[in-house]
Amino acid sequence: MKYQLISICTMLFLLSSCNTLGRMFKPKDNYISMTERIENMEPSTTRPTTRTVPSTERIPKVVKRNKGRKVVSEAYRYLGKPYKYGEETPRKGFDCSGLCYFVYEKEANYRLPRTSYEQSKIGKKISMSSAKPGDLIFFKSGIKVNHVGIVSKYEQNQLFMVHASTSSGVIETNVTKSNYWRPKIVSIRRIF
C-alpha cells in the first residue's frame, strides 16, 4: 500500500511537471496547436533577421511547387554520365530521351513516352522566350524529331539545356550560341 501511494504520487508529480495533465484535461475547442501559435505570432524586434527555415507564407507557390526546377536539379546530378543508346538509368548511362524519361518520372512523378519523337507530341508548344526550367526542347536533323533536352535556364536571351549527347554524355549546352543545335530546333514544349 505504501509503495502504491508513493508510485501514484510520483506519477502525478511527473505528469504535472511536464503539463501532461493540463493537456489531457483541456477542452478540444480551446486547444491551439503549436503551428497555429507560430503562424499567429506578431513580428518582434528580438527575432533574428535571417532564418534557417524560411517562412512559407513569404515563398510564392510557384517556387514552392515548381516541378520544373526539381527536374533540372535532378538532371544536373547526372552531368558527366556516359551516353548509352537505349538506356535510361544512371548506372548504365542515358540516351537523350532516356534522360528525360528517367528524370521526369523520378522528380515530377510523370511518365513520359520513351522516344524523343513520341515525347515531342505531348505538352503545350511554347516560344523560346517563354521557356522555363523543366521544359523540353526538341531537335531534328532529317524528317522527324531525333533529339531532346531539358531546358535548364533561359536568361539574357540565352537558352541552356541539359541533354545526353552521343559524343560527350550528359552535358549542359548553350543552345543559343551553338551553331550545331540552334538551326535544328523544332519546338519547345511545356509538359506541366
List, for residues 141-151, the tens digit of each pLDDT value. Answer: 999 999 999 99
Tell me if residue 136 falls in helix, strand or coil: strand
Mean pLDDT of the 109-114 span: 96
pTM of this prediction exceeds 0.75: no
Task: Cite the residue boundaries of each domain of the chain with CATH code 3.90.1720.10.
Answer: 67-190
Burial of 94 (0-12, 13-18, 19+ CB in 10 A): buried
Mean pLDDT of the 168-178 span: 97
The set of residues, in sequence order, having a beta carbon less than 8 Å from that of 36 and lying 6+ positions away, is none
List, for residues 60-91, the tens digit of each pLDDT value. Answer: 444 434 899 999 999 999 999 999 999 999 99
Select the more confidently predicted residue: 37 or 102.
102
Q: Which amino acid is at 43?
A: P
Q: Which H or E element spans position 54?
A: none
- The confidence band for 128, taking pLDDT boundaries of 50, 70 and 90, is very high
- The confidence band for 17, taking pLDDT boundaries of 50, 70 and 90, is very low
Range 67-190 classified under CATH 3.30.9.60: no
Which residue in 158, 150, 129 sits closest to 192, CA to CA? Answer: 150
Q: Which H or E element spans position 174?
A: strand 169-174
Nearest 10 degrees: Cα torsion 86, 116, 108, 78: 50
Q: Cα–Cα distance between 108 and 83 in angstroms, integer?
A: 23
Residue 123 is classified by DSSP as S
At 66 the pLDDT is 84
At 192 the pLDDT is 85
User: What are 77's three cell numbers?
Assistant: 546530378
Q: Cα–Cα distance between 49 and 3 in angstroms, integer?
A: 54
Residue 81 is classified by DSSP as P
**Phi, psi for residue 155 in degrees, rounded to 5:** -145, 140
